[in-house]
C-alpha cells in the first residue's frame, strides 16, 4: 500500500506557491504603487493638529483591497486573452494555479472587505469614489481595450483616483487641491499607457487590444500626441506650488522631471522606435513617484 510522504518543507513550498499565485492575481506591485498614491493624497490633505492614523491605515488597507480586487477581476475577465500574450501567459489563471471559482470568490471577498473598511472608517465620499473607480476599471475600461483607444481615456479616470481618494479620506471634501492632484495623475497616464502600448504592440494585437491613438499606428502622429500630453505636465506640475499646497522646491523638482520626461518624447518623434518608447515608459515610472515624494517633502 502506497503512503503519502508529506513533509514540513513540502507544505511550506505549497503555501508559498499559493501565496505567490494570489499576489500575482491581485497585481501586488501595481496595487502597492496605487496605494502609495492614495497615501500621498491623504498626507497632503491632512492638516489636523494630530495625524489621523486610524483613517490613514483604513485608507491604506481598504484602498489596497479595492485595487487588488480590481486587478484580479481584470485578470478573470481577460483570462483567455492572457493566454495569447507573452507578457501575461504566466499569470495564475492561464496556468490554472488558481481555479476560476476560487478567483471569483477571492475577488468578491476582497472587494467587499475593501469597501466595508472605507465605509466604516473613512467617509461616504471616499467609499463612493472607490466603488466608482472599481466599476469603471472592471466593467468599462477592461472591455473597451478591445474596442479602441477610448479605453485609455476611461482607464485614466480610475487610474487618477488614488490621490483624490486620499484627499477626501483626510478632508471629507473634493476641493480644487484634490482636483489638481487628480489632474496631474490623469494626464500622466496618457504618455504612460501609450508608451506601454507601443512597446507591447505585438502582444496586444494578439489579444485584440487597441490602445494606441491615430488608428493604432506606431507613427509620428501617435508620438506627437504622447509629446503633447507630456507637455501638459509642465504647467500642471506647478499648480500645487501656485495654490500654496506645496513650496517652491517641489515646483522646481516637478519642472525638471517634466522637462526630462518631455525630452524623451522628442526622440520618439524623431525615430518612432521601440527603444525610444521604452525610455518613455521607464521615464513615466520614475516621474510620478519622484514628483509625489517631492510634494510630500515640500508640504507647506
What are 144-178's pLDDT values in tens digits?
999 999 999 999 999 999 999 999 999 999 999 99
The share of the chain scoring above pLDDT 70, in percent, equals 97
Dihedral sign of CA atoms 167, 173, 174, 177 in order: negative
Residue ranges of the domains in the chain?
Answer: 16-174, 175-300
The pLDDT of residue 6 is 66
The pLDDT of residue 242 is 96
| Cell numbers that stand for 30 in this block | 501595481
Q: What are phi and psi of 94, to 5 degrees?
A: -60, -35
Instruction: Give the long-range contacts of residues 275-283, CB within 8 A, separation 24 or more.
Output: 277/195, 277/198, 277/199, 277/218, 278/195, 278/199, 280/191, 280/195, 280/226, 280/230, 281/192, 281/195, 281/196, 281/198, 281/199
Give whole-number Cα distances, 286 to 11, 98, 161, 219, 246, in Å: 39, 33, 19, 25, 20
Q: Are 296 and 44 in contact (CB under 8 A)?
A: yes
Q: What is the mean pLDDT of residues 194-203?
A: 95
DSSP codes of every residue in 58-106: HHHHHHHHHHHHHHHHHHHHTHHHHTT-TTTTTSTTTTTSS-HHHHHHH
Selected residue with higher pLDDT from 300 and 159 = 159
Residue 13 has pLDDT above 80, yes or no: no
Residue 8 has pLDDT above 80, yes or no: no
Give the model confidence (pLDDT) of 39-83 as tens digits.
999 999 998 778 899 999 999 999 999 999 999 999 999 999 999
Residue 32 has pLDDT above 80, yes or no: yes
Selected residue with higher pLDDT from 26 and 300 = 26
Residue 124 has pLDDT above 90, yes or no: yes
Q: What angle do CA 212, 217, 220 make, to 5 degrees?
A: 100
The residues near 4 (Cβ < 8 Å, ≥ 6 apart) are: none
Residue 91 has pLDDT above 70, yes or no: yes
Nearest CA among 40, 70, 27, 4 for reference residue 177: 40
Alpha carbon distance 13, 176 (integer Å): 50
Give the model confidence (pLDDT) of 229-242 as tens digits.
999 999 999 999 99
In the structure, what pLDDT confidence band is assigned to residue 1 with cuts at 50, 70 and 90? very low
Bridge partners of 299? 246
Range from 3-12, 120-129, 160-169, 172-181 carrying the lowest mean pLDDT: 3-12
CATH architecture of 16-174: Orthogonal Bundle (1.10)
Residue 133 has pLDDT above 50, yes or no: yes
- Half-sphere exposure of 131 toward its Cβ, with a 13 Å CA cutoff? 13
Alpha carbon distance 137, 132 (integer Å): 8
The residues near 155 (Cβ < 8 Å, ≥ 6 apart) are: 136, 137, 141, 144, 189, 193
Write down the residue that cell numbers 473607480 correspond to.
Answer: 133
In the structure, what pLDDT confidence band is assigned to residue 5 with cuts at 50, 70 and 90? low
Q: What is the mean pLDDT of residues 215-225?
A: 93
> CB 163: neighbour CB atoms within 10 A?
30
Give whole-number Cα distances, 135 to 74, 157, 159, 258, in Å: 11, 11, 12, 31
Amino acid at each position: 500500500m502506497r503512503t503519502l510522504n508529506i513533509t514540513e518543507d513540502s507544505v511550506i513550498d505549497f503555501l508559498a506557491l499559493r501565496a505567490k499565485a494570489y499576489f500575482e492575481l491581485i497585481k501586488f506591485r501595481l496595487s502597492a504603487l496605487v496605494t502609495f498614491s492614495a497615501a500621498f493624497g491623504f498626507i497632503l490633505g491632512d492638516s489636523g493638529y494630530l495625524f489621523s492614523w486610524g483613517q490613514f491605515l483604513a485608507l491604506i488597507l481598504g484602498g489596497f483591497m479595492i485595487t487588488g480586487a480590481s486587478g484580479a477581476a481584470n485578470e478573470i475577465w481577460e483570462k483567455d486573452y492572457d493566454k495569447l500574450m507573452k507578457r501575461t501567459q504566466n499569470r495564475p489563471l492561464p496556468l490554472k494555479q488558481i481555479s476560476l471559482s476560487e478567483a471569483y470568490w477571492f475577488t468578491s471577498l476582497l472587494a467587499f472587505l475593501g469597501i466595508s473598511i472605507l465605509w466604516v472608517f473613512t467617509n461616504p465620499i471616499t467609499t463612493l469614489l472607490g466603488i466608482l473607480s472599481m466599476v469603471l476599471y472592471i466593467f468599462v475600461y477592461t472591455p473597451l481595450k478591445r474596442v479602441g483607444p477610448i479605453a485609455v481615456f476611461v482607464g485614466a479616470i480610475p487610474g487618477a483616483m488614488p490621490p483624490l481618494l486620499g484627499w477626501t479620506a483626510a478632508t471629507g471634501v473634493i476641493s480644487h487641491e484634490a482636483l489638481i492632484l487628480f489632474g496631474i495623475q490623469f494626464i500622466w497616464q496618457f504618455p504612460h499607457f501609450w508608451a506601454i502600448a507601443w512597446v507591447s504592440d505585438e502582444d496586444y494585437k494578439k489579444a485584440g487590444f487597441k490602445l494606441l491613438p491615430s488608428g493604432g499606428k506606431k507613427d509620428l502622429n501617435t508620438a506627437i500626441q504622447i509629446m503633447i500630453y507630456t507637455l501638459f505636465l509642465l504647467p500642471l506640475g506647478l499648480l500645487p506650488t501656485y495654490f500654496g499646497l506645496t513650496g517652491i522646491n517641489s515646483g522646481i523638482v516637478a519642472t525638471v522631471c517634466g522637462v526630462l520626461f518631455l525630452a524623451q518624447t522628442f526622440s520618439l518623434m524623431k525615430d518612432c522606435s521601440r527603444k525610444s518608447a521604452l525610455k518613455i515608459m521607464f521615464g513615466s515610472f520614475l516621474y510620478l513617484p519622484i514628483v509625489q515624494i517631492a510634494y510630500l517633502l515640500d508640504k507647506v
